[in-house]
Structure 1
Amino acid sequence: MSVKSETSSSQGFKILITAEEAYPEFERLCLAARVEITMCFRVFDPWTRLRSPDAREIGVTWVDLIEHLLRQGIRIRIDISDFDPVALPDAHRDTWAAVRALHAAGELSGRPDLLMAHAIMHPARLGWLPRLLLWPRAWLEQNQTAERLNTLPLAQRDHYLREAPRLRTRLKAKAARLVARVWPVPHLSPATHHQKLAVIDGKTLYIGGLDLNERRYDGPDHDRAADDTWHDVQIVTQGPEAKAALYHLQTFKAVTHGARPPELTGLIRTISRKHRWSFFRMSPKTVLREIADTHAKSTANAKRLIYLETQYFRDASLARQLARRARDNPELGLILILPAAPEEVAFDSNPSSVAKYGEYLQAKSVRLITEAFGDRVFIGSPAQPRKVGSGGRASLYGSPIIYVHSKVSIFDDDIAVVSSANLNGRSFKWDTEAGICLTDPDRIHELWARCAGQWLGSGAGDDCLDPRNAVAAWRLRAQANAKVEPEERTGFILPYASRPARRYGHTLPGVPEEMV
């Protein structure tokens, strides 16, 4: 990561920071399509408002944009991740509501034949033994969902169930009230399709950590309530990465069902499938772990500085690899940017035991790297430069937190990864993930400079970008911000507080680390 005074986007390559930059660009890319758009998202809400001026001339939401594109003869193929209706009933319902809205747009366009929109659930299922062991808990959760639906007016309840087909089969009416079915034992799905990417005309790739809905819309100023902030990074690029991504989108479902994964150049993936025999198993079978392997190899080759920006840092294997490299190379530094607390802990009044398990794993991973790197590591979290009352885990040093959801890893000038994958076992082994590797030093430096500039703000000198001084310079900036009033801070960066996660987290014996 050499120091340069200027950076500029090369032809066909853009770095998009937050949805304020990414959503309008995505709209422009779709409007520029001539033949087809192929995409897969974990979350894609067609009622999300349009942001670019050109798209706003067409309509108000993505429903209008999809209808317009179909009218223009553009073929659209979109897969949206479906979710286990027992564990995530609202997410399951949202996916099917989105698919229905997309098909409505197809009918309105007069060209429904050009639209392929599907809700896709990962085929892996828990084996019979863990399903039986979890049966009482699953039945309880289904009953809680039934009770919540029973509080709704009948018409609203029926509408909800029409948009949640897999949940509908798990409930039955009894004396005008919904109750959970005791039998059969529900199938439970441990993995999801977590990737977020689109390919336009087979030539342009839009990829990273950002899904599409109003919750994820935020700008680089992050001047909103903590639970409305959302920091993400998306990349637009052309060339072999786009061709590889298109082939991946055409084949990944078959791979999850047992087909041989194709070899691709320019795209790195995580793909798993169901086991042939899974009586005892809680996990799917990992087929490709290219994202994890890329991190492992890049860590082993790192010389001066590693920069990681992630929603979760929970993979103990990666933490041990980083610690081993720190001991082998006394010149290596590490900067790790995390949200002050996970979304489900910061903003949920009653976090689950699984969320607490995730905090336990992150505290463990943080301890491994801090012990190995010593003063050669800086762990930071962003917060807004304004005061807040007692905000619990949603505040940091008296300020509302900024929620970090991005997935960026930079290893010297050699390689950078932007993907949908968090640094946890789920993203490295279970869920379907996709990302790209940047190897051009100019593009790597541009990404590094954009990330640093976002968190450090104005006045960040060359020492903040120089790999020889960056760790100390970032730490000094964060410590200085922590000592002054929020309004007097420079940039957003503050020291990460590890004690809350250590105190809050606890282990769950028998539960795979990849579950969180």
Structure 2
Amino acid sequence: MRDIKRTSTQVFITGSEAFPALERAFLEARVEIHASFRIFDLRTRLRSPEGLAVGSTWFDLIVHVLRRGVALHIRITDFDPIARSALHRGTWRSIRMLHAAAELAGPAARLEAIAAMHPARTGLLIRLAFWPVVQRRMDRICRWLNRQDPATRAAAMRDMPGLARRLWQKADGTFHTRRFRVPRLYPATHHQKLAVFDRRKLYIGGLDLDERRYDTPQHDRPAAQTWHDVQVMMEGPVVAEAQNHLETFMAVTEARMDPSPQRRLLRTLSRRKRLKIWNYVPVTVAHELQQGHEALADRAQRLIYLETQFFRSLSLARRLARTARANPKLTLILILPAAPEDVAFENHFGLDVRYGEYLQARALRILRKGFGPRMFVGGAAQPRRAGRETDLDRDRLQDAPIIYIHAKVSIFDDTAAIVSSANLNGRSLRWDTEAGVYLNVPRDVEELRRRAMAHWLPMNAGAAFFDPDTAAQAWARLAMQNLNRPPEERQGFILPYDLRISEKFGQSVPVPEEMV
């Protein structure tokens, strides 16, 4: 059923388009804002003329909004304080800054700011199995803390409340691990990024708020500062569904209620199991994003176009491959980052990232068997030669600085699309809290497809690059031409994805696929 007359959709490519739109939506709100983000850093600079009229950072904007009497209800994801200590610290810094903004706004300010930890927990046996790894990580955190001056150390501990009971402080002010306390582990997170304004307008997609996530369509910056993402702003019936989700997702994940039916808002929701000593994985109670991808793939006739940070779901790969074998006219374009962020820019090589690369290489091989030459898998790089910005090698692709791809966009012919916070991996499709929208209004799908595809192509790209019957072949041909040219002579951003590197780097690990 289509809501053509009642729905409107705006598409934003990269933070340079999305951030100003988010600023304006906050400033235009009259009554209330409900939001949930993985990262929401109030130190982020303002970009829109309207935002800069009230201050220079999001802290200033929040003070202004609260002073106007707008009620702000925001959930910011909290993280495992040991496995993700920097993110845990960032969340609590944001919560502290939100409360400081409310104090500056005055006694009438209406703020509800929650650091939202997913309630899933690991059982005792799993905690014991990981105890040596956790202890080593805790020791590293203590060494980092103890290298700081006393004021910095105190500020860091103020923003890491999850570590307080796991450390003890000596008389000289240094911190040390409590050796015989087995810490809890948190296998899932709230990964969604959405906001509803006055129950009238919805902002949703893959983009959080901080300086790291700001980029321009030209991506003309060091590789580690690039960040390609897609966000949409919508009005129509889906807004009420998003409002209901924001008001209830914590109760659902805490097993206090079941998820309500939705039509246009697609979710992943899981909850904690009744705690047992061997328990590890959360229980999935809604996997609408996975179901939506499967159903729309089954209906696709000519072209499936995907942009995703990860493609690691073996079940989705098998589903797409079966669909391709059943329909010899179906083609696929898949755009991926050349390497995971922590591999490309931080040189991580632990088992978690190696397992992720193993799963992705295996998923791509499954797709290749199903689609054969009807599939193009591409990475993206800037049309310039990589200098010696870093000593790393996976922050470049074919001698050019990579463009880091974080978008979560799936388009099926000209008839349907999904824009969400979910990667195409087991974690996003089964464990983490995710939210996205199902688009089925033809003008919205066509606008999204045109803009998403044109972003990677040269300005003079012809109709063959957009025609569902010829696009995959045209993109593959352009990528090979770029591969054989010097970086500064390449057209657009597209290059072939180098599967051999992922296969060489990857390593199988006997843990659930949903871990990564």
Normalised by the size of structure 1, how large is the TM-score?
A: 0.96
Contact 1:70 1:111 in 2 (8 A): no
Q: 2:154 aligns with which of 136, 153, 158?
A: 158
Cα offset for 1:320? 0.5
Supply the distance in 2 between the matched residues of 1:187 and 1:368 (Cα, whole angstroms). Answer: 36
> Which residue of structure 2 aligns with residue 263 of structure 1?
261
Contact 1:306 1:409 in 2 (8 A): yes
> Which residue of structure 1 aligns with residue 223 of structure 2?
226
> Which residue of structure 2 aligns with residue 5 of structure 1?
none
> Which residue of structure 1 aligns with residue 471 of structure 2?
470
Q: What percent of counterpart residues are identical?
A: 51
RMSD: 1.3
Deviation track 1:441-498 (CA, whole Å, cap 9, x = no partner) reads: 1111111110111001211111111111011001111111111111211110111111
Supply the distance in 2 between the matched residues of 1:483 and 1:111 (Cα, whole angstroms). Answer: 64
Matches within 5 A, 1:131-170: 131-170=127-166
Supply the distance in 1 between the matched residues of 2:348 and 2:195 (Cα, whole angstroms). Answer: 35
- Between 1:218-227 and 1:380-389, the stretch displaced more is 380-389
SS at match of 1:46: coil
Supply the distance in 2 between the matched residues of 1:134 and 1:367 (Cα, whole angstroms). Answer: 32
- Runs (4+) of structure 1 exceeding 4 A deviation are none
> Which residue of structure 2 aligns with residue 515 of structure 1?
515
Q: 1:350 aligns with which of 336, 348, 351?
A: 348
Contact 1:15 1:235 in 2 (8 A): yes
Q: 2:281 aligns with which of 283, 288, 300?
A: 283
> Which residue of structure 2 aligns with residue 27 of structure 1?
23
SS at match of 1:210: coil
> Which residue of structure 2 aligns with residue 441 of structure 1?
442
Supply the distance in 2 between the matched residues of 1:500 and 1:111 (Cα, whole angstroms). Answer: 57
Cα offset for 1:113? 4.4
Q: Relative to 1, partners in 2 of residues 1:311 and 1:112: Cα closer, same or farther, differing over 3 Å?
A: farther
SS at match of 1:437: strand
Contact 1:383 1:493 in 2 (8 A): yes
Q: 1:374 aligns with which of 372, 375, 385?
A: 372
Q: Aligned pair 1:42/2:43, yes or no?
A: no
Contact 1:71 1:111 in 2 (8 A): no
Matches within 5 A, 1:182-197: 182-197=179-194
Cα offset for 1:10? 10
Contact 1:139 1:181 in 2 (8 A): no
> Which residue of structure 2 aligns with residue 180 of structure 1?
177
Supply the distance in 2 between the matched residues of 1:315 and 1:299 (Cα, whole angstroms). Answer: 14
Q: Relative to 1, partners in 2 of residues 1:205 and 1:342: Cα closer, same or farther, differing over 3 Å?
A: same
Supply the distance in 2 between the matched residues of 1:118 and 1:46 (Cα, whole angstroms). Answer: 15
Supply the distance in 2 between the matched residues of 1:149 and 1:356 (Cα, whole angstroms). Answer: 28
Supply the distance in 2 between the matched residues of 1:373 and 1:112 (Cα, whole angstroms). Answer: 60
Deviation track 1:146-167 (CA, whole Å, cap 9, x = no partner) reads: 1111111121111100111011
Cα offset for 1:416? 0.2
SS at match of 1:393: coil
Supply the distance in 1 between the matched residues of 2:361 and 2:342 (Cα, whole angstroms). Answer: 16
Cα offset for 1:349? 2.5
- Between 1:457-466 and 1:100-109, the stretch displaced more is 457-466
Supply the distance in 1 between the matched residues of 2:101 and 2:478 (Cα, whole angstroms). Answer: 50
Contact 2:338 2:402 in 1 (8 A): yes
SS at match of 2:228: coil
Contact 2:229 2:405 in 1 (8 A): yes
Matches within 5 A, 1:85-484: 85-111=81-107, 113-174=109-170, 176=172, 177-258=174-255, 259-389=257-387, 391-484=392-485
Cα offset for 1:175? 5.5
- Between 1:58-67 and 1:344-353, the stretch displaced more is 344-353
1:436 partner amino acid: V
Supply the distance in 1 between the matched residues of 2:245 and 2:469 (Cα, whole angstroms). Answer: 39
Contact 2:378 2:497 in 1 (8 A): yes
Normalised by the size of structure 2, how large is the TM-score?
A: 0.96
SS at match of 2:139: helix
Supply the distance in 2 between the matched residues of 1:197 and 1:470 (Cα, whole angstroms). Answer: 32
Contact 2:193 2:208 in 1 (8 A): yes
Q: Aligned pair 1:58/2:54, yes or no?
A: yes
Cα offset for 1:74? 0.5
Contact 1:103 1:112 in 2 (8 A): no
Cα offset for 1:501? 0.5
